[in-house]
Structure 1
């Protein structure tokens, strides 16, 4: 994946890999960041997944919110409580005017 290539090239250490995607040419590749959280490319390091949540909260938008909600409350929520906690904080940061984010927080 592009994330793994960025890390191998020495641009970043594992936990900052998702930030490198935001800073690399071409803007944010949200699908790659979401892939860090779930599916076949899910990263084994909780700090990397936590960084992905933080970056998704910066990106915002429906796709990012859905991925954050999935990490917190989905059919397979993240197994790490720090990642789930970061997810709740990220939704609070996005919150306010975003109905999806606020609905997800009501369950917290």
Structure 2
């Protein structure tokens, strides 16, 4: 099997990223590169509140995100941001996907 595919499978087998919603949350947080409120994520994902809590807690336990309470102009809110470890995982995932995509484009 291709090394990139093996590495991709290894990344996606981790508890944090073995779910498409968690992968999407992490990629979104990577591109935001700052804090996002729980409410904003909830609206964007259109999933039950309890499901989002569970996904975020899994990502937090894996060390991929940070969750804290913050004072905003709208009052105290739960905010989430990606950790350095989370950024490294997303970068690695994107690099592998890019290489696989480039390999696909060069097949005869």
TM-score where L is the length of structure 2: 0.29
Query: Hey, which of these two has a bigger chunk of strand by percent?
Result: 2
Q: Which has the higher helix share?
A: 1
Q: Structure with the greater relative contact order (CA < 8 A, sep ≥ 6): 1 or 2?
A: 2
User: Which has the higher Rg, Structure 1 or Structure 2?
Assistant: 2
